[in-house]
Structure 1
Amino acid sequence: MASARLRKAFRYPDDSSDDERGREELDEEEQERVIDRLKALNEKRNSEYSIVFAAIPLFSSYAFVASILSGSSGLYERCLSLFGILSLLATAYTMRCLPLQRPDPKGKRPMTRSNTIVRVQRYLLPLNAVMCVLLALIYASQSTTESRLGIQPITYLVPGAMFATVLVARQVMLSVDLKTLENLRYEYKGA
C-alpha cells in the first residue's frame, strides 16, 4: 500500500505562528545586557587596535635610528631622520593617547579644559601632517640613482604611510556607533 504523507499548509514568513523559530522580543533588562555587552566588546576591540596601531609606528622608527647613531651621516641626514622619528612618535601618540571624538550631530564642540596638553593635542595632527609632507617632498626631490644620503630616500615615505594608516584606523574605530542602537531601544509592554 502506498505510504500516506501529511502535508503542512504553506505559511508566509511573516505569518504569526507559535513555532520554535519565532523570535522573542527582548525586555528592557535584556536590551541593556545586549547593549552593555556590545559596548564592552567594542571598547576591547578599540583598545586592541590602538595598541597594535601604536606599536607599528614605534617599530618603524628603527629605520631612522641607525642614521642618527651613525658617525658617517651628516647633519642634514640626522635632522631628516629626527623629523622621521618625531613624526612616527607623534603618530603612535595619536593612536594610543588621543581620545576618539565623534562629531556632534548638532555641530557643537565639546567643552574642554584649556591647558598645555589640550593645546598640544590640538596642533599635533596638523604638525605631524606637515612633517610627513616635508619628508615626502624630500623623497620626491632625491633622485633614486644619486642619493647623497646614507639612508634610502623611500624611507622618508614611511612616516606619511603610518600617519595615513593610523588616521584610517581611527575612522574605522569611530564608525561603530552604539548610540544609534541605544536610540532604537523600545519599551517592552508586557502583560
Structure 2
Amino acid sequence: MASARLRKAFRYPDDSGDDEHGREELDEEEQERVIDRLKVLNEKRNSEYSIVFAAAPLFAGYAFVASILSGSSGPYERFLSLLSILSLLATAYTMRFLPLQRPDPKGKRPMTRSTITVTFQRYTLPLNASICVLLALIYASQSTMGLRLGIEPITYLVPGAMFTTVLVARKVMLSVDLKALENLRYEYKGA
C-alpha cells in the first residue's frame, strides 16, 4: 500500500488572521523594564551562585581539620592539611568577595587604587593556583616517597578541584552579558 501524506495548505504570513505568532515591537519603556528585570534576575542568580560555590570549599575543608587536630599525624601531614585549608579558604574568598570583571573589548584595564585589599585580591588567584599545583604534585609523588599519611593522598586533589569548579562557575556567571542587550535597543517611532 502506498503511504498517505497529508498536505497543508500554503498560507501567506499575513493571511493567518491570528496575531498570536506575530512579533510585537516594544517601545522604549517596555525595553527598559525588560532589561531591568533581566538585570535583577541575573544579579539574584549570581548572588545565589556566589553563596553556594563559596560554601562548598568551606565544607570540603572539614576533611583536613581532623588531620590537623589529630595527635597521631606528623608535622608534614599537618602542614599539607593546613595548606589545603588555606587553599579552600582562598577559593571561598575568591567566589564570594572577588568582583566579577568583564574584560574590556578594547583591552584597557580599569584604573584602581593600590591598597592592601586590592593587592591581596590581585595575588589571591595565582597563589591559590600555586598551592593547588603543589598539592597535586605531592599527591603524584606519594607513591614514590613511600610516606604513610593518616589522610588519603587523593584528598589533596580536593583543593584543586574546588578551585577549578569556582573558576568555571565565575566564567559562567560572566557569560551573561546584558550590556550587549542594552546596545541592541532601538528607538521606537510611534504613529
Q: Which runs of 5+ in 1 are unaligned?
A: 1-8
1:69-124, Cα deviation, whole Å (9 max, x unpaired): 00111111111000000000000000000000000000000111210000000000
Code of the aligned partner of 1:116? I
Aligned-pair Cα RMSD in Å: 1.9
1:26-47, Cα deviation, whole Å (9 max, x unpaired): 0000000000000000000000
Q: Percent identity over the alignment?
A: 85
In structure 1, how many angstroms separate the alpha carbons of the residues matched to 2:141 and 2:152?
13
Aligned to 1:150: 150
Q: Give the TM-score, by structure 2 length.
A: 0.91
Code of the aligned partner of 1:31? Q
**1:23, distance to aligned residue in structure 2 (A):** 2.1
Does structure 1 residue 74 correspond to structure 2 residue 74? yes
Aligned to 2:127: 127
Q: Give the TM-score, by structure 1 length.
A: 0.91
Secondary structure of 2:143's match? coil
- What count of residue pairs does the alignment treat as equivalent? 183
1:146-170, Cα deviation, whole Å (9 max, x unpaired): 5411100000000000000000000
Aligned to 2:173: 173
| CA contact 1:147–1:153 (8 Å) conserved in 2 | no
Aligned to 2:63: 63
Aligned to 2:117: 117
**1:16, distance to aligned residue in structure 2 (A):** 8.1
Q: Which runs of 5+ in 2 are unaligned?
A: 1-8
